[in-house]
Amino acid sequence: MLNYDIVVIGGGPAGMAAALKAKECGVDSILILERAETLGGILEQCIHTGFGLHYFGEELSGPEYADRFIELVKEKEIEYKTDTMALEITENNVVYAVNKTDGLLEIQAKAVILAMGCRERPRGALNIAGSRASGVMSAGTAQKYVNIDGYMPGKKVVILGSGDIGLIMARRMTLEGAEVKVVCELMPYSSGLTRNIVQCLDDFNIPLRLSCTVIGIHGKDRVEGVTIANVDENRRPIPGTEEYIECDTLLLSVGLIPENELTRAVGIQLDPVTSGAVVDENRETSHKGVFACGNVLHVHDLVDYVTLESQTAGEGAAKYVLGGGEEPEYITTKGVSGVRYIVPQKVNIKNEGDVKLYFRVGQVYKNAKTVVKYNGEEIISKKRPRLAPGEMESVIIKNDMLKKFAEGGVIEISVEE
């Protein structure tokens, strides 16, 4: 049995930032477990730029953003094992993992930080009718083939879903010589960033069809075409609007799901909206000493926010390991009318700093207000010229305000038009 103060599961941006922060806070015995061959996580294949504007104040590519943390992990001599898969976390924070060189690892941790990231929703979840020909893959899989392996997964492409990965891959495939015929989006708005719509689609004259979906996949061995159709306000295809589009590839960019299999297996409470753990302001889950951060907690739009959140978790885990602190007194947070979720879901009112609440709205709003209420009473109101589901919002609850709250209280955030 190995012993570490903190075991971090996942060596992507979340895991690395959490580990580095914990180290900075005085914990030396830290081990990062990473399932891929290198640290860096999904950033390694995100070769486009646009990362780091908030955190570093410059535009980096994914690998560059990751490299800054990889270098720090090495410099600070934080231990890590790549090509290593965590299989199980026990009630007592024993982590089981495997790799080729160590075999089965049994690691007793004082604290565990979950930073496993997320995965893409597959075709099955959409139940698209038609054949099971090759040429249907998630946008992220295609991204790996093009950017890491250096192979083209298709020549004539239809993309379903206008999330950022879908938009980025539309441009990427076009630059590499493929013809992207259309990007279809089920919703009446794109969930991607506006700049990506302009720079990835408009620049290359790739049409974006809103309220439109793929209803059929054709082709026996390899995809030969898809049928798309417009959808009504209930997202059902409108008969008569079907259109056949010849293509050899269908890329799916239809949402991300936190990878919480380990979390679920140990019985940690999950939030049905985020599909991530329910956490407090330190990102501690319902299981004592287990923290979660990054896309495994909730899907972020910017890696910069992942880094910040993970530092919070790293600091929280360090505090936990180093001991002290009294029994927490929690208030809960709740998104209402227009706000889909809030992270953290609970806040310890004995916390000594300010607390930042992150939240997401359910639709696009223009010139709206976000209103924070404590036990029904308005405490903060912020005018927002634009709110969109693709962009994470935040609000800070100042510590002096927090001190006035009582255990069991409820903070609600809503959108008012």
Partner 1 sequence: MQKNIICVACPMGCGVTVELDDNGAILSVTGNTCKRGDAYARTEITNPVRSLATTVKVEGGIFNVVPCKSAGALPKDKIFECMEVINNTSAKAPVKLGDVLVADILGTGIDIVATNHCPIK
Partner 2 sequence: MNYDVAVIGAGVIGSLIARELSRYNIKVALVEKCNDMAMATSKANSAIVHAGFDAKPGSMKAKMNVAGTALMPELCKTLSVPFKPVGSLVVAFSDEEMVTLKELLERGIGNGVPDLEIYDAAKLREKEPFISEEAKGALWAPSAGIVCPYELTIAAVENAVVNGVEFIRNFEVKKIDFADGVFTVSNGESKINTKYVVNAAGVFCDEIAALIGDDSIHTIPRKGEYMLCDKSIGHLANHTIFQCPSKMGKGILVTPTVDGNLLIGPSALDIEDKTDVTTTAGTLADVLTAAKRSVPCLTTREVITSFAGLRAHCTRDDFIIEPSEKNSQFINVAGIESPGLSSAPAIGLYVKDMLIKELGAEEKADFKAEREEPVRFRHMSNEERKALIEKNPAYGRIICRCETITEGEILDAIHAPAGARDVDGVKRRTRAGMGRCQGGFCGSKVVELLARELGVEINEITKCGGNSKILYERTK
Scanning residues 29 to 48, which ones bind partner 2 (CB under 8 A)?
35
- Residue 220 contacts partner 2 per CB under 8 A: yes
Which amino acid does the sequence have at 411?
I
- Residue 152 contacts partner 2 per CB under 8 A: yes
Distance separating alpha carbons of residues 24 and 69, to the nearest angstrom: 13
193 binds, among partner 2, partner 1, none (CB under 5 to 8 A by kind): partner 1
- Residue 82 contacts partner 1 per CB under 8 A: no
Among 47, 67, 216, 270, binds partner 2 (CB under 8 A): 216
64 binds, among partner 2, partner 1, none (CB under 5 to 8 A by kind): partner 1
Contacts 24+ apart (CB under 8 A), 403-408: 403/349, 405/331, 405/349, 405/374, 406/329, 406/331, 406/349, 407/329, 407/330, 407/331, 407/349, 408/330, 408/331
Scanning residues 117 to 146, which ones bind partner 1 (CB under 8 A)?
146
Exposed, middle or buried by CB within 10 Å (0-12, 13-18, 19+), for 239?
Answer: exposed
Distance separating alpha carbons of residues 9 and 299, to the nearest angstrom: 17
- Residue 272 contacts partner 1 per CB under 8 A: no
378 binds, among partner 1, partner 2, none (CB under 5 to 8 A by kind): none
Tokens found for residue 235 = 């997202």
Collapsing DSSP to helix, strand or coil, 7 comes out as: strand
Which one, 152 or 364, has the nearer CB to partner 2?
Answer: 152
Is residue 236 within 8 Å of 253, Cβ to Cβ? no
User: How many residues of this chain bind partner 2 (CB under 8 A)?
Assistant: 53
- Residue 259 contacts partner 2 per CB under 8 A: yes
Tokens found for residue 214 = 């793929």
* Residue closest to 255 by CA, chosen among 304, 201, 187, 323: 187
Residue 395 backbone class (left: φ over 0; alpha: ψ -120 to 50; beta: rest): beta
Among 28, 59, 232, 354, binds partner 1 (CB under 8 A): 59
- Residue 255 contacts partner 2 per CB under 8 A: no
User: How many residues of this chain bind partner 1 (CB under 8 A)?
Assistant: 31
Among 25, 47, 85, 210, binds partner 2 (CB under 8 A): 85
Scanning residues 190 to 219, which ones bind partner 1 (CB under 8 A)?
193-195, 197-199, 202-203
103 binds, among partner 2, partner 1, none (CB under 5 to 8 A by kind): partner 2
- Residue 132 contacts partner 2 per CB under 8 A: yes
Among 53, 87, 129, 148, binds partner 1 (CB under 8 A): 148
Is residue 51 within 8 Å of 61, Cβ to Cβ? yes
Identify the helix (H) or strand (E) that includes residue 172.
helix 164-175
Under the rule (CB under 8 A), what is the footprint of partner 2? 35, 83, 85, 87, 96, 98-104, 106, 119-120, 122-125, 127, 129-135, 137-138, 140-141, 144-146, 149-155, 176, 215-218, 220-222, 237, 257, 259, 261
